[in-house]
Amino acid sequence: MIRALIRKDARLLRFYLRSGITAIIACYLVCAGMVVMLSQYQDAAKQSLTSRTFFTLAVGSIYGIGITGFFAALLAGSIFTLERSDRSAEFLACLPPTRMQNLVSKLTVVLGATTAMLALPIISSAVANQMFPYVQVAPGQGNILFGTLEWLTSVAIIVSIIGGAFAVSAWLKSNGVPILAGLLTPLLILGFVSMIGWLLDIPSEGNTFQIRYVTSSFVLGGAFAYMGCYWYLTRSDP
C-alpha cells in the first residue's frame, strides 16, 4: 500500500521533480560553459581540463544547493496543497490508507526527492575537494570549497525550508503561501538567532554564530515539520 502511495505522490509532484533535476543538471552545464568562456581570458596554466573540471564542480555544487533549497520549498509546500486545491484529497480520504500512511508517503517523497537532488552537489563538492591540491587557483578562490560546517549549514537551511513549508501547507489549500513561508523560514531563523544573541549578549567569535544558526535551524525546522505533521493528522477536513 505504501509503495502505491509513494508512487502516486511522486507522480503528483512530477513536474517539480523533473524541473528540479533539470535545473541542477542545467546549473552544472551553465557553470561548465562559464568556466570554458572565462578561461579564454586566463593564462594557459589555468586552462587545464583538471582546473576547468574543478571550478565547474565546485561552483556548480554551490548553485546546486541553492536550487535544491528552492525546490525543497516547492515540494514541501505542494505535497498537501496540490491534492486539496483540486479536492482529490477527498477522494484519497475515502480510500483505505489512513492519514498516517498518507503522511509517511508524503514525507518519504519530499525528503527522498530533496536528498536525491542534494546528492549531486554533495558528490561534486567532494570530488572538487579531492582535486583541490592538484589545481592552480588564485588567492581566495579556494573559498568555493565546502567544509563540514558549510555543508551542515546548507542542510540545516534546507531542513528549515522544508519545515516551514510543511507547517504552513498543513493548513492551506493552495501552495503559494507555503512555498513563500518555506523560503522565508531560514531568514526568520537568522533574524531570531541574531536577536537572541543581541538580547542575551552572546559573543559571536569565530564560527560560534554559524554553529548557533545551524543548531537553531535543525531544531526549529524539525519542530515546524513536526507541527505540520500533527496538524495534518488532526485536522477534521482531508
Partner 1 sequence: MIFPAENSVIEVCDLTKRYGDNLACDSINLSVRQGTTFGLLGPNGAGKSTLIRMLMALTTADSGEIKLFGEQGSHRSSEMRCRVGYVPELHFIYRWMTIKEVLNFVSKLYVNWDTDLANEMLSKFELSTKKRVSALSKGMTAKLGLIIALAHNPDLLILDEPTSGLDPIIREDFLESVLQSHSCKGRTILFSSHHVDDVERVADEVGILVNGRFAVQGTVDELRNRIKRIRIVLPDGKLPVRVPSEAVFQKLSRREWIVTVDPFSDALFENLQSENDAVSADVIELNLEEIFKDVVRGQKPQSEEAKVD
Binding site for partner 1 (CB under 8 A): 1, 3-5, 7-8, 11-12, 86-91, 93-99, 101, 236-238
45 vs 94 by CB, closer to partner 1: 94
202 vs 233 by CB, closer to partner 1: 233
Place of cell 493552495: 174
Question: C-beta of 26: minimal distance to partner 1 in Å?
Answer: 25
88 vs 174 by CB, closer to partner 1: 88
Question: C-beta of 178: minimal distance to partner 1 in Å?
Answer: 20
Cβ(170)–Cβ(80) under 8 Å? Answer: yes
Q: How far is CA 109 from CA 73, 80, 95, 124, 133, in A?
A: 13, 12, 20, 23, 38
Question: C-beta of 160: minimal distance to partner 1 in Å?
Answer: 30
9 vs 69 by CB, closer to partner 1: 9
- Residue 117 CA to residue 95 CA, distance in Å, equals 31
Candidates 12, 6, 165; CA nearest to 101 is 6
14 vs 198 by CB, closer to partner 1: 14
Burial class (CB in 10 A: 0-12, 13-18, 19+), 199: exposed
> First-to-last CA distance in the chain?
19
CA dihedral 92, 98, 101, 107 (to 10 degrees): 60
Question: C-beta of 237: minimal distance to partner 1 in Å?
Answer: 6
66 vs 238 by CB, closer to partner 1: 238
Specify the long-range contacts of residues 196-202, CB closer than 8 Å, at least 24 apart. none
Question: C-beta of 155: minimal distance to partner 1 in Å?
Answer: 32
Question: C-beta of 229: minimal distance to partner 1 in Å?
Answer: 15
